[in-house]
Structure formats: structure tokens, C-alpha cells
């Protein structure tokens, strides 16, 4: 039986490459560098800045198409890996992802559902919500809970800021990477 | 009958199940990973839920997210397709704990038939023929030697928990037995965390013959005859056909009846397959049972005119089978070719990518089960299946001609994309294949006999 192979990517490795790439994009702001790549192990992320497709000033992570053949014994990451934050509306088109939360004109930071489940705005029914519109939050602060199969999963922010908008109601079902709320960046 | 079925799978089988639901008047829910956001089933199904990133462990195999998706959409049943969660008794149990019907056998039955030692024991008791060998795991090298000497060489030592061609060794000479017994146990412990092994006679070049069946919860079981899946490479099936031309009508009826009796004896419900090896004297020996719908189910559908996925859904909903054994009549011959994104000239290496051109064949008695469309990206982190091409004809030779015609029409192009179509066409033209004398070592010899194809860099 063929069925489906489990090509387990190294999550931590991908995330470290991803973090490095994001950092570089920020540091290269204003420079003339157009393309660079970050690689570690079997994983590689290629960044092309100011590509015509991203005329609004966005940076694109370009994934080579077709993807290189898998290295012996090692899968190749060519898309959104586990834990990678892809902005709403970002989709695979010719293997190019738009990183909406980097340089979008709308600089609001989306907080995404990490899994499928029920959204709860507070720790207990009737308790004070973790955050409301206008609440200032720090990096890593819990802003809500997504419950799946009676497991309470706290959702923490990836960046600090102020809650600008909450898009879901207490008790709503949410799917993976659904935008739960937007934060205004703290620097603004 | 169910109101809404969630399909916990992707690719062609997800679309196949969604189509069956639509015809039955059932709403369907697709789940998808980030990489599959634009997939055909997401467009086709009544609803779709994003359940995780491309990595299967975080999406299609992530039980809380799959169950969550069913709860979010109010689905009353989950169809697992093949692969992924389809043979996971734990998942079946969680479905039931959450009030969702798992479309497949009950968890405890699935667990029993999934254990090769238990399945062999149960099926032998139910009257299925087995190869000479042990049922109980062999405990010591001395015992192994005694058993092997009794059976006669060659013998095969297999891990009880093994599968997919791993955890087994063939022993040709008595003096190699102790060493290979130890090796197999060590491999079994390392790979499957279970060192138990059993020994049986090894057949050098058998034919892979499998019986399709469906059982309902009223205690009815129907067999849908057999498939021959001998054209395989490293245990990956490439061409399947129905029926096997090597069984007589009497033998076909006998093995079908025994397979159903075996399934009913263990309380099996749903669609399942009993795998047998057929030797050159015409003896069938039970190998294992697959407790799911299989990739190659369409060839059985084509020769019996029964939609097996619809039957599977019907019996899971507690309804009786819509057909009785007398209704199921074998007509003609069907062949399926698995068109994979693999390069046959480079040892079937994956050759995935974006499909710039995708034009499937049509014409009489030609069926294409596929999720592909122009622009679809065959992602490297899932299986390489592009399409299952299935044809029917009144007899095998006409089916071969029809298949070759259909393959010649099939246009698939993309940067870096290669397919198994040229390989299939070469096999269809091969005299030995056309004669029907195909055993499980056919592909290996076929490829070795073609230096022009195999020697290319």
C-alpha cells in the first residue's frame, strides 16, 4: 500500500530558519539587497524583496518551484512549516507566500488560532476577559483560550502591542490560523 | 442516514468520498492543511475547515483538530479514507467518545485484525487457508530452527508488528536461520518496539490476490470478488486488475465465501480486504486483512457495478447492505494504473511540482479518479499520486488496449514533473504482462531487462 508518507520536518530547525529570515528582512530595510537565502540543515528559505508582485511594499518569501528533490533521508521545507505565521489571505500561488505581517501598509499584527477549537475570551465562564479592545499586551501574554477536546490551550501574543480589534465571539468555533484579533504595534 | 460527513483525508480519495456523499444526499465537510487550501475537494465539498500546516502530524493526523473540525461543522460521521487515521483504533474510539460515527470497523475489531498474529490465528480458525508456519510468536532460536526445518526452506521470518515490507527476512539455508532470527528480532524491536516474530514458508514468486468485502451490522457480508495486484515495486502497487485470471469460478466463490465468513467471525463491519498469496499450484494463503477502503477499490466497482464507498457509508449508518451476494455479478475485466509523479527512469524518484498541463483522458469505459487540475501543485510532503486511471472492457486484452489508448491521451506537464505513464505503457506492451503471467517479482525483472530505461543517469 502506498498511502501517505509522513515526512516529518524538523520543526525547531524550520522555525529557527524562519526567525532568522524575518529578522534579516527587518534589518535590510532601506538597503539595496534584493535577494538572500537563509539555510540550515536541509531547510532553506529564499527571500526576494520588492518583487513586482508585491508592489504594495511587501516582501515575498519565494519558494523555488519546483521544489528541489528531497535529500536522502531529509525532507525539504517549501512552504508554511509548523508554527510559521502566514498572514490572512496569504496562499500558495506559484509557490510564493506573501508575508503580510512584515511590511503591510496595515501594520496591525494578527493573532492566529493555533488549532481548531472553541474560542474563549476568559479563563472561566463569567470571569473577566483576558483582553478587550484597547488593552496593552506584552510579548508572550495570554490573550484568549482555544479549547479542543477539553484541553485548554492558551494563546499568547508573538509581539507586544495594543488590542485593536477582536474578530470572534466567546464560544465561537475557530479553525487553524483563523485571525482571532489584531494588535496595533507598540512602537506606533 | 447521516446528515453530514467529514472527510479526514486529502487528494483523490477525499474527492471520491465527497462525490459519494453528494450522490447519497449527504453534506460533506473537507479538511485541509495550509498546502491544500486550493485543493479540489475544498472547492467541491459543502464546507471546508483548515486544520493545520502542511505537516501531516499537525493537520491530517492531528486528532484534536480533526475532531474539532467535525464538532465545528456538526458532522455526525467521519470517513477516514485510506492512510492517515484510517487504521487507527485509538482515533475510532475517540470519534465514538465524541458521539461521531467512524466509518469503518469498531475499534476493538480493527485492533484485532491489525495485529498479524491475532489475525492469522482468527482467520485460520474461521477456515481461511494459511501458509505452513507458526501462529504464536517464536520464542527461541532453537524453536525457530525446529520449526523452519519442519516447514522446509526457504522460510520467511516476519515481525508480528511489521508492515510495508519492513521487518522480514528470507532464510534459504538452515545454517543462516539462527543469525537471521536474531537480526529480525532486533530490527522488529528497534523499528516496531515489539520483538515478536513468526515463521512461515516463503513463496518465491507468488501472485498478490485480494478479496474485497463489505459487512453490515445486521450480520450480512458480501464479497465483491478479487483483485490481482502483482505489478508492484517494493510493495507499492502500480497496476491492479479485477478479476484475477488465475482463479476458476469455483475457487473464486470458495475464497470469497471464506473471506466473508472470516470477517463475520471477528465481528467485522464496513469495507475491508483480505490479502492472499496465490502460488503456482493455485493455492491461496491468507496474509493479512486491511480494515479500510483501498486505493484500488475502483477496479472491483467496475466489474460489479457497485459503489463501494456508498456501501461503506450506508453500513456505517446502520443500514443493511443494498445488495446481496446473488445481486453481485462479475462482468468483464477492469484495470487500474496509478499515475504517480515519479520518474521511472530515475528509480521512481519523486518528481513533483506544479502541473502546467493536465488533460485527463475520456472515452468509453474510462474513469479517472483524481484531484488534479491545471495549476495544481503536487506537493512533496504528501504521496505522489496524480491520478488513478481505470478502464473496463469485456475481457482482459481489450481492457489492456483501452488502457493504452487512455494513457496515450493523458497529458501531464510541468517543470520538473515526470509521471509513471511511460512505464505503464511499456508494461502494457510487454508479452509476459499481456499473457497474464505476472508475479510479485515482475517489475523487478521487467526493469532489469530494460537497460535502455534503467541505465539512464
Looking at CA atoms only, how far is residue B175 from chain A in angstroms?
33
Q: Per the CB < 8 Å rule, is B53 touching A95?
A: no
Q: Which of residues 281-300 of B touch A (CB under 8 A)?
A: 290, 294-295
> Closest chain B residue to A90 measured between Cα atoms?
B34
Q: Per the CB < 8 Å rule, is A92 touching B338?
A: no
Rounded Cα distance, B35 and B438, in Å: 39
Q: Per the CB < 8 Å rule, is A2 touching B295?
A: yes
> Closest chain A residue to B9 measured between Cα atoms?
A4
Residues of B whose CB is below 8 A from A7: 55-56, 380-381
Averaged pLDDT, A145-154: 89
Q: Per the CB < 8 Å rule, is B60 touching A176?
A: no
Rounded Cα distance, B76 and B78, in Å: 7
Looking at CA atoms only, how far is residue A60 from chain B in angstroms?
17
**Backbone torsion region of residue A83, taken as left when φ is above 0, otherwise alpha when ψ lies between -120 and 50, otherwise beta:** left
Provide the number of CB pairs (under 8 Å) joining chain A to chain B.
Answer: 145
Banded model confidence at residue A11, pLDDT cuts 50, 70, 90: low
Looking at CA atoms only, how far is residue B340 from chain A in angstroms?
11
Residues of A whose CB is below 8 A from B63: 149
Q: Which of residues 55-114 of A touch B (CB under 8 A)?
A: 65-67, 69-70, 75-76, 78-84, 86, 91-92, 94-95
Residues of A whose CB is below 8 A from B98: 149
- pLDDT at residue A78 above 90? no
**Backbone torsion region of residue B184, taken as left when φ is above 0, otherwise alpha when ψ lies between -120 and 50, otherwise beta:** alpha
Q: What is the mean pLDDT of chain B?
A: 94
Residue B341: how many CB atoms within 10 A of its CB?
Answer: 25
Averaged pLDDT, B330-354: 96
Q: Per the CB < 8 Å rule, is B49 touching A78?
A: no
- pLDDT at residue A73 above 50? no
- pLDDT at residue A69 above 70? no
How does A7-39 read in b/e, with b if 16+ C-beta sit within 10 Å?
A: bebbbeebeebbeebbebbeeeeeeeeeeeebe
Banded model confidence at residue A29, pLDDT cuts 50, 70, 90: low
How does A55-74 read in b/e, with b if 16+ C-beta sit within 10 Å?
A: eeebbbbbbebbbeebeeee
Averaged pLDDT, B342-360: 95
- pLDDT at residue A12 above 70? no
Where would I find the H helices in B61-160? 63-73, 89-97, 107-114, 116-125, 141-151
B56 close to A (CB below 8 A): yes
In contact, B222 and B431? CB cutoff 8 Å: no
Residues of A whose CB is below 8 A from B291: none
Residue B108: how many CB atoms within 10 A of its CB?
Answer: 12
Q: Look at B33-37, B113-117, B319-323, B389-393 and tell me which has the smallest mean pLDDT.
A: B113-117
How confident is the model at residue A32, as a pLDDT? 63
Q: Look at A80-84, B86-90, B299-303 and tell me which has the smallest mean pLDDT.
A: A80-84
Banded model confidence at residue B160, pLDDT cuts 50, 70, 90: confident
- pLDDT at residue A102 above 60? no
DSSP-derived secondary structure letter, B85:
T
How confident is the model at residue A98, as a pLDDT? 40
Averaged pLDDT, B27-47: 97
In contact, B166 and B129? CB cutoff 8 Å: no
How confident is the model at residue A20, as a pLDDT? 74
How confident is the model at residue B104, as a pLDDT? 98
Rounded Cα distance, B49 and B21, in Å: 17
Where would I find the H helices in B8-139? 11-24, 40-44, 63-73, 89-97, 107-114, 116-125
Residue A99: how many CB atoms within 10 A of its CB?
Answer: 21
Residue B416: how many CB atoms within 10 A of its CB?
Answer: 18
Q: Which of residues 170-199 of B touch A (CB under 8 A)?
A: none
Which of B376, B443, B372 minimizes the C-alpha distance to B410? B372
Percent residues over pLDDT 90 in chain A: 35
Banded model confidence at residue B387, pLDDT cuts 50, 70, 90: very high
Banded model confidence at residue B359, pLDDT cuts 50, 70, 90: very high
Residues of B whose CB is below 8 A from A11: 55
Banded model confidence at residue A40, pLDDT cuts 50, 70, 90: low
Greatest alpha-carbon span in chain A: 56
How confident is the model at residue A38, as a pLDDT? 67
Averaged pLDDT, A75-94: 32
Q: Dump pLDDT digits (tens) for A107-141.
A: 899 999 999 999 999 998 889 999 999 999 999 99
Residues of B whose CB is below 8 A from A69: 349-351
Question: Which has the higher per-residue pLDDT, B23 or B193?
Answer: B23
Which of B11, B38, B54 to mutate to test binding with chain A, by most A CBs within 10 Å of its CB?
B54
How confident is the model at residue A41, as a pLDDT? 61
How confident is the model at residue A64, as a pLDDT? 36
Give chain A's end-to-end CA distance (angstroms, integer): 56
Q: Look at A54-58, B14-18, B78-82 and tell me which has the smallest mean pLDDT.
A: A54-58
- pLDDT at residue A76 above 60? no
Banded model confidence at residue B455, pLDDT cuts 50, 70, 90: very low
How confident is the model at residue B170, as a pLDDT? 94
Averaged pLDDT, B224-243: 96
In contact, B67 and B51? CB cutoff 8 Å: no
Q: What is the mean pLDDT of chain A?
A: 67
Close Cβ partners of B374 (under 8 Å, ≥ 6 residues apart): B355, B356, B357, B358
How confident is the model at residue A186, as a pLDDT? 78
Q: Is the ipTM of this complex over 0.90?
A: no
* B155, β-bridge pairs: B171, B201
How confident is the model at residue B204, as a pLDDT? 87
Averaged pLDDT, B328-333: 98
Parallel, antiparallel or unpaired: strands B197-201 and B236-242: unpaired
Rounded Cα distance, B59 and A178, in Å: 14
Rounded Cα distance, B234 and B440, in Å: 9
How confident is the model at residue B215, as a pLDDT? 98
Q: Which of B207, B227, B292, B338 is catalytic?
A: B292
Banded model confidence at residue B240, pLDDT cuts 50, 70, 90: very high
Percent residues over pLDDT 70 in chain B: 98
- pLDDT at residue A15 above 50? yes
Q: Per the CB < 8 Å rule, is B295 touching A81?
A: no
How confident is the model at residue B162, as a pLDDT? 78
Q: Per the CB < 8 Å rule, is B379 touching A8?
A: no
Q: Which of residues 322-341 of B touch A (CB under 8 A)?
A: 338
> Closest chain A residue to B349 measured between Cα atoms?
A69
B396 flagged as catalytic: no
Looking at CA atoms only, how far is residue B236 from chain A in angstroms?
5
- pLDDT at residue B100 above 80? yes
How confident is the model at residue A105, as a pLDDT? 46
How confident is the model at residue A23, as a pLDDT? 75
Which of A174, A158, A11 minimizes the C-alpha distance to A85? A158
Banded model confidence at residue B134, pLDDT cuts 50, 70, 90: confident
Closest by Cβ to A4, choosing from B51, B72, B83 = B83
How confident is the model at residue A118, as a pLDDT? 94
DSSP-derived secondary structure letter, A93:
B
Q: Per the CB < 8 Å rule, is B37 touching A78?
A: no
- pLDDT at residue A93 above 70? no
How confident is the model at residue A34, as a pLDDT? 62
Amino acid at each position: 500500500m502506498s498511502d501517505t508518507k509522513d515526512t516529518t520536518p524538523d520543526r525547531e530547525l524550520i522555525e529557527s530558519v524562519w526567525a532568522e529570515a524575518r529578522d534579516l528582512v527587518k534589518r535590510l530595510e532601506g538597503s539595496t539587497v534584493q535577494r538572500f537565502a537563509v539555510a540550515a540543515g536541509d531547510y532553506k528559505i529564499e527571500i526576494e524583496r520588492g518583487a513586482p508582485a508585491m508592489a504594495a511594499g511587501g516582501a515575498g518569501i519565494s519558494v523555488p518551484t519546483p521544489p528541489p528533490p528531497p535529500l536522502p533521508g531529509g525532507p525539504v521545507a517549501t512552504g508554511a512549516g509548523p508554527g510559521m505565521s502566514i498572514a490572512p489571505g496569504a496562499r500558495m500561488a506559484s509557490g510564493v507566500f506573501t508575508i503580510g505581517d512584515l511590511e503591510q501598509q496595515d501594520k496591525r499584527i494578527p493573532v492566529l488560532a493555533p488549532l481548531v477549537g472553541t474560542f474563549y475570551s476568559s479563563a472561566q465562564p463569567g470571569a473577566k476577559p483576558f483582553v478587550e479592545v484597547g488593552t496593552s499586551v506584552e510579548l508572550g501574554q495570554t490573550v484568549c483560550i482555544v479549547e479542543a477536546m477539553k484541553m485548554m490551550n492558551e494563546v499568547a501574543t508573538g509581539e507586544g502591542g495594543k488590542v485593536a480589534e477582536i474578530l470572534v465571539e466567546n464560544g465561537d468555533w475557530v479553525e487553524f490560523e483563523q485571525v482571532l484579533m489584531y494588535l496595533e504595534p507598540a512602537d506606533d | 442516514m447521516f446528515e453530514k460527513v467529514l472527510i479526514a483525508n486529502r487528494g483523490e480519495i477525499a474527492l471520491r468520498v465527497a462525490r459519494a456523499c453528494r450522490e447519497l444526499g449527504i453534506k460533506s465537510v473537507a479538511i485541509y492543511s495550509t498546502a491544500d487550501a486550493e485543493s479540489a475537494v475544498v472547492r467541491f465539498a459543502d464546507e471546508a475547515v483548515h486544520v493545520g500546516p502542511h505537516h501531516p502530524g499537525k493537520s491530517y493526523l492531528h486528532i484534536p483538530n480533526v475532531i474539532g473540525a467535525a464538532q465545528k461543522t456538526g458532522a455526525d460521521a467521519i470517513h477516514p479514507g485510506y492512510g492517515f487515521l484510517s487504521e487507527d483504533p485509538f482515533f475510532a474510539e475517540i470519534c465514538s467518545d465524541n458521539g461521531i460515527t467512524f466509518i469503518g470497523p469498531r475499534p476493538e475489531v480493527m485492533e484485532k485484525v491489525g495485529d498479524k498474529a491475532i489475525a492469522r490465528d482468527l482467520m485460520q480458525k474461521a477456515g481461511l487457508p494459511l501458509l505452513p508456519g507458526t501462529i504464536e510468536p517464536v520464542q527461541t532460536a532453537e524453536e525457530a530452527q525446529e520449526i523452519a526445518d519442519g516447514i522446509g526452506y526457504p522460510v520467511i521470518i516476519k515481525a508480528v508488528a511489521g508492515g510495508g515490507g519492513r521487518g522480514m527476512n528470507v532464510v534459504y539455508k538452515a545454517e543462516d536461520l539462527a543469525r537471521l532470527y536474531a537480526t529480525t528480532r532486533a530490527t522488529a524491536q528497534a523499528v516496531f518496539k515489539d520483538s515478536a516474530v513468526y515463521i512461515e514458508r516463503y513463496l518465491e514468486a507468488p501472485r498478490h490476490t485480494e478479496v474485497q468485502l463489505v459487512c453490515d451490522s445486521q450480520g450480512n457480508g458480501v464479497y465483491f470478488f478479487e483483485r490481482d495486484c502483482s505489478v508492484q515495486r517494493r510493495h507499492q502497487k502500480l497496476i491492479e486488475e479485477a478479476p484475477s485470471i488465475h482463479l476458476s469460478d469455483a475457487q473464486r466463490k470458495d475464497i470469497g465465501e471464506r473471506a466473508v465468513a472470516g470477517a463475520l467471525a471477528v465481528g467485522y463491519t464496513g469495507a475491508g480486504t483480505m490479502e492472499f498469496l496465490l502460488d503456482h499450484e493455485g493455492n491461496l494463503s491468507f496474509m493479512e486483512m486491511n480494515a479500510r477502503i483501498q486505493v484500488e477499490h475502483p477496479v472491483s466497482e467496475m466489474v460489479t457495478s457497485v459503489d463501494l464507498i456508498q456501501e461503506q457509508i450506508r453500513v456505517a449508518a446502520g443500514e443493511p447492505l443494498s445488495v446481496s451476494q446473488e445481486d453481485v455479478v462479475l462482468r468483464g475485466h477492469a484495470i487500474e494504473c496509478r499515475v504517480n509523479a515519479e520518474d521511472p527512469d530515475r528509480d521512481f524518484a519523486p518528481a513533483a511540482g506544479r502541473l502546467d498541463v493536465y488533460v485527463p483522458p475520456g472515452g468509453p469505459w474510462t474513469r479517472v479518479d483524481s484531484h488534479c487540475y491545471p495549476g495544481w501543485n503536487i506537493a512533496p510532503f504528501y504521496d505522489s499520486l496524480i491520478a488513478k486511471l481505470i478502464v473496463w472492457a469485456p475481457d482482459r486484452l481489450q481492457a489492456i488496449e483501452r488502457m493504452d489508448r487512455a494513457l496515450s491521451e493523458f497529458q501531464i506537464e510541468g517543470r520538473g514533473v515526470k509521471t509513471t505513464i511511460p512505464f505503464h505503457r511499456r508494461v502494457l506492451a510487454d508479452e509476459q504482462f499481456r499473457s497474464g503471467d505476472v508475479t510479485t517479482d515482475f517489475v523487478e525483472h521487467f526493469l532489469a531487462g530494460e537497460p535502455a530505461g534503467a541505465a539512464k543517469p
